[in-house]
Structure 1
Amino acid sequence: MKKLNVLSLIFITISFFSCQEKSQIYVPTIDGEWWQVAGDPDLGEYTSPKQQPVDFGVWQAADGTWQLWSCIRNTECGGETRLFYRWEGESLTDTDWKQMGIAMKADTLLGETFGGLQAPYVIEKDGMYYMFYGDWVNICLAISEDGKNFTRVMNDEGTPALFKGPYNNTRDPMVLEYNGLFYCYYMGHVKETKPNSAIFCRTSADLKNWSQPIMVSGGGVAATKTSWFGGDAECPYVVNKDGLFYLFRNQLYGEDNHNTQYCSPNLLDFGVDDDQYLIGTLDVAAPEIIFHKGEYYMAALLPSLKGIRIAKLKWVALSIGLSRCLQR
């Protein structure tokens, strides 16, 4: 983790000094060594030397095994070059999970963009597994009873799309349940509007009907960390910890991987052109946070973009003196 500068810490202290209710802020920190769980898979006829496992989801299936689905980009599948590949592990702490083959390809007959599958994310609710993913334009939905074999859920138009926009290339969904509602965080980018790249959120009570979008994060110092206008708010991931909400927002993949974290009392506001909730950065890309048996883990891309790794994650108190007084 890169340290915040002195001016940032002073700003944090002054901004919240006059509040009445104090909440301890924690900084997510890698705890120990990484272990690799997935590598560069054999895609058969779709294999390419340029292929890269990128945005992914990790979850525990009904039989207790761990599932990892990754979007593999730059393959020979055609179109936007992306498809989903699957690995399976017996334990979260095992290395080199078993390759299970291609899990899903875009279905153009259902309105999905050819080769356009992106960023699978899975939650379990009442014995059913829900997979949210991007098809290059929309956020889509598939379901499964065993957490391994997924079937697309069709809408009234005969497509698996749930929603899209307001920005282009709607992608990178993750879903958090809180107080009876589901919050779907996702991102998009557009060149003509500021901020060019932003994270949005929609809410739902049933995982099928979703509210209008709210922009929850965009701009700020994170927008200066990449030269591509569409890349500074990718892979949103939100964690609810001790009544505060932590957003992981990605800027860079590869050897220079860079991710920015924010902490807010409001899960619909992490700052737009405003860094008051910024708490730190990590040299990781596309992280997913896993809470299992009382411990936190982080899964992230290899810097080589040729696989996926996991490490333990700990939460370090920012400082007793700098514990924010957040106004709810």
Structure 2
Amino acid sequence: MTVGHYLEEFHGLPVFHFPDTDSDSDSGAGSGASVELPDAAAVAWRLSSPTYCEDEDEQWGAQFERFLKTVDVGRVRALVVGGWDEAYENSSADIVTALIAANNRLTALEAVFLGDMTSEDCEISWIIQSDVTPLLAAYPNLREFGVRGGSRLAFPSIRHTGLETLVVETGGLGAEVVRGIVGSDLPALENLELWLGTDEYGGDSTADDLAPLLSGAAFPALRALGLRNSVIQDAVAAAVAGAPVLARIERLDLSMGVLTDEGAAALLDGQPLTHLGRLDLSHHYLSKAMQERVLAALAPHGVAVDLGDAQEADDEGDGRVWRYVAVAE
């Protein structure tokens, strides 16, 4: 039910933790200033400070300034922002502002991930985000953007001609944010991944909010679609099954949610799925009979189907049945 590890790879590059000033630091930022730094373009640089800062800890802003002075930042291709002080109370707005102010120095930047925290740092639904679209506007050559945490996240519709991958990981993604994303003009977008989450953590979107995306009118380059971690996974699956966009999707990911036989049947009874290269339904609530039906329909056509991490509903015996998404807290 939580995120348990930091990114190890981002934008096709290994993640390197920029060294902390304290060689004994446990902030996840590295092992000390004496660490030999890699080539600036060869890694995704992770900058992180403790989410529970002590007086002696270096906070994120100071670490970023040291990074700008230490590394050949004109060659940096990817940045991963980890934690910041009291991320459960303080938003990412100051970090977004700092990154925007450095756009004349980070001239080769192609990818940013904002909020690479585990549950020990800050639960995903407690991470306070902000309006992240000014960051995209400041980096027109950005090709990949990821963000974790849906609380106070804002994404009004924008135009960005370079973005190829957009990933939004939340325990609950607000309908306004969903509408802003699918209403954006992103002509180069090939991969879209949204963790829709649950209404308990602000995930109040419906399948109808996805209409511009599913109609095929948005994102003409889209080839990989992930609508994941959703409490309304059956409704999403049914909407995808009849969606015009499905015909050009090569990789479909409906994992991490509460998909049941109803949603899987709708998916199989809709448009043909045999053109897919991969279908990920892992972390699901499908019966064994339905799993066999899915495999029989798709595996002979070469579709790689992931039905791992099968779940069982909690039946209270009084008519109440509980099913859980993979990540919500």
Q: TM-score normalized by structure 1?
A: 0.29
Larger Rg: 2
Which has more strand, going by share of residues? 1
Query: TM-score if structure 2 supplies the norm length?
Result: 0.29
Greater share of helix residues, 1 or 2? 2
Asked which structure has the greater RCO (Cα within 8 Å, sep 6+), the reply is: 1
